[in-house]
Structure 1
Amino acid sequence: MAAKTKAQDIIDNNAVAVFSKSYCPYCKATKSLLSEMGAKPYIIELDQVDDGAAIQDALEEMTHQRSVPNIFIDKKHIGGNSDLQGKKSELPNMLKAAHAI
């Protein structure tokens, strides 16, 4: 339960939240794209925190997505890297609306 609360707090308190794993190439692509767009996402590397596995379980329960990256913009679940890349043209407006850039 603590992991679900922590995940929700991260989502609620950050314009852009990325649940990531440090070695994941898709996570790197997501972080790159957000950086290129001028966003400063809150990034939590689930493989580098003690409760990472529990947070990943909680995210799966919340979003029905097990994989990383698990991306939220303005408290809305975007999905993974391919979902984010697919929204490239909308991304600047989404980030502005979220006050992330």
Structure 2
Amino acid sequence: MERVRDLACKKAVVIFTKSSCFMCHSIKALFYDLGASPAVHELDQEIKGREMEWALKGLGCNPAVPAVFIGGVFVGSAKDVISLHVEGSLKQMLINAKAIWF
């Protein structure tokens, strides 16, 4: 859990993913399209990826990936991020975290 928290605070947007996950790819593409440059951590390529995945599940992320943090705060998984985007608040969250400027 400590490693997840540490990584989640290092950049304005942090996404924990797996390289084989299509929803992870879609969420990363959404952030890039919005102009953000997230830190992406591929759990299937991390030495302690399995432990990090369990920590994310402990935060309530089910499935464990994608798990998105904005401004060091856990935002949620793909459905949560898409809901925020559709309702229009995701962009403001990115602006507040200084991940994008408008």
Confirm or deny that 1:71 pairs with 2:68.
yes
TM-score when normalising by structure 1: 0.90
Shift in Å, 1:71: 0.7
Preserved contact between residue 9 and residue 72 of structure 2 (Cα < 8 Å):
yes
Match of 1:97 in 2: 96
Q: Residue by residue, what CA displacement relative to the aligned partner does 1:23-68 show, whole Å, maximum 9, x if unpaired?
A: 101101100100000001110000111210011111222x122421
Whether the aligned pair in 1 keeps the contact of 2:12 and 2:70 (CA below 8 Å) is yes
Count of residue pairs brought into register by the alignment: 97
Give unpaired runs (5+ residues) of structure 1.
none
Instruction: Note the 1:17-96 alignment, pairs <5 A.
Output: 17-61=14-58, 63-67=59-63, 68-88=65-85, 89-96=88-95
Contact 1:17/1:72 (CA < 8 Å) preserved in 2?
A: yes
Unpaired stretches in structure 2, ≥5 consecutive residues: none
* Coordinate RMSD, CA, aligned: 1.0
Q: Which runs of 4+ in 1 moved over 4 A?
A: none
Identity %: 33
Deviation, structure 1 residue 91: 1.5
- Kindly indicate whether the alpha-carbon contact (under 8 Å) linking 1:11 and 1:17 is maintained by their aligned counterparts in 2: yes
Q: State TM-score, norm by structure 2.
A: 0.89
Q: Distance in 1 between matches of 2:56 and 2:22?
A: 20
